[in-house]
Amino acid sequence: MNSLEKPADKRPRHLMDPSNPVRPVNDKALTHVQRWVLSVLAVFTIAHLCVGIVIAATMTDLRSGQIGLSIIAGLFGVAAVVVGQAIHRRDPRNAWLLLGLLPTVVGLILVLR
């Protein structure tokens, strides 16, 4: 370095330095977390819908409407399980589908007693 040249200023940390690129992010771990967050959000959103349908079934006076809404809640419960399994790229035909029928069972217990 020549005595007449001014030394290079040190860059602030928040700015990118082209001579020192940042190492790449581990995309596989990020995708794994994103998949879990998406599946939890989807399943719980559909589960809230199931709870609302079961509550609507308990407020209906017509017996056939109560049973029908309980069955619809179970169908949405099964859909929630299928969506959760599909997000994780797993075969949805497994024992977890029985958990999706839980809103139907709870709804029928509440309306038929």
Dump pLDDT digits (tens) for 82-95. 999 999 999 999 99
For residue 1, is pLDDT > 60?
no
**Residue 78: what pLDDT?**
98
Q: What is the pLDDT of residues 8-29, one digit of tens each?
A: 667 676 777 777 777 776 777 7
pTM of the model: 0.75
Retrieve residue 28's tokens: 């596989």
Q: Kindly report the number of other CB atoms within 10 A of residue 20's CB atom.
A: 7
Q: What is the pLDDT of residues 54-79, one digit of tens each?
A: 999 999 999 999 999 999 999 999 99
Integer angstrom CA distances of residue 50 from 29, 43, 47, 85, 88: 32, 10, 5, 18, 22
Retrieve residue 52's tokens: 């609302």
Q: Which residue has the higher pLDDT, 103 or 8?
A: 103
